[in-house]
Chains A and B, each alone.
Chain A
Amino acid sequence: MNRDNTLVDRWEFWAALPLLAVISVGCGAVRNPALERARDAYQRARHDPEVVGRAAVSLDKAGQTLEQAERAWTKEKDVTEAEHLAYIAEKRVEIARATARRRLAADEIQQLKSKRE
């Protein structure tokens, strides 16, 4: 009877170790490529002064959809809905970018018209 066994000497410890590792990895790194893409696109647009300045409302809409996607992913655990909302959010970012370009073109037209006169 060796009572001076430490935790490390017990086989249960070594058995539990990989299990714990698997669980922690599993919890920490459940990633969704669609959601990450949407997040990335949104963040890039957020850092683009042209988009923020000219299409803030559209960009906010994209942000709201992205939040819904995050909620579906983390809280409701609904993968299909999360991916669907991520796709919508990505499209909304594209809409915001196009809106910014449209307004830029409109401003250019305005300037050129005043230049012509």
Chain B
Amino acid sequence: MSRIFNADHGLMRWRKSRTWVIACLIILCALEISGCSMMGKPPTEALANAELRLRAASEARAAEFAPMDLQSAREKLEGSKQAIAAKRYEDARRLAESAQVEAELAEVKAETEIMRRAAEELQKGIDALATDAERGSRKSLSK
């Protein structure tokens, strides 16, 4: 009787340990999956910032005055989106941050170029006025 009981007990123990192993495996799998997604969330904020900055750069006529920086920013934004699709969230964040800062640079460069040209135009206008005035005074002197 006790022997039967013992055998039964052994079987139960074996079954128990098997369920434990399976449970552990399930937990491990769950941790693996959730751990992956917990370690890296899609960098939505960084991406949104980069997109905003790129739009601002376009508005500042960066396509005309800082095309290389704008192009590079666009490529990095595209790369960031692809990295998100491939669930490489760290890469995606870095690419979005790089895109943002490059777009910012493109914007400032474009603004600077526009300002510089405006200053040049103004200088030309003043020079023209000065030469006109000079000619005028010479004319009045020669008369």
Contacts and interface: CB of A to CB of B under 8 A. Distances in A.
B108 A108 contact: no
A95 interface: yes
B83 interface: no
Given A88-B101, A91-B101, A95-B104, A101 B112 contact: yes
A108 to B, nearest CB: 4
A98 interface: yes
Q: B interface, by DSSP: helix, strand, loop or mixed?
A: helix
B119 A105 contact: yes
A105 B122 CA distance: 11
Interface residues of B, number: 21
Nearest to B93: A84
B115 interface: yes
Interface string A66-98: 000000000000001100100110011011001
B115 A116 contact: no
B105 A94 contact: yes
A115 interface: yes
A105 B101 contact: no
Interface string A95-117: 10011011001101100110110
Contact of B105 (A84, A98, A105, A109): A98
A92 B123 CA distance: 31
23 contacts: A80-B90, A80-B94, A81-B94, A84-B94, A84-B98, A88-B101, A91-B98, A91-B104, A94-B105, A95-B101, A95-B104, A95-B108, A99-B112, A101-B112, A102-B115, A106-B115, A109-B115, A109-B118, A109-B119, A112-B122, A113-B122, A116-B122, A116-B129
Given A105-B115, A112-B122, 18 more contacts: A84-B94, A88-B98, A91-B101, A95-B104, A95-B105, A95-B108, A101-B116, A102-B112, A105-B118, A108-B119, A109-B115, A109-B118, A109-B119, A112-B119, A115-B126, A116-B122, A116-B125, A116-B129
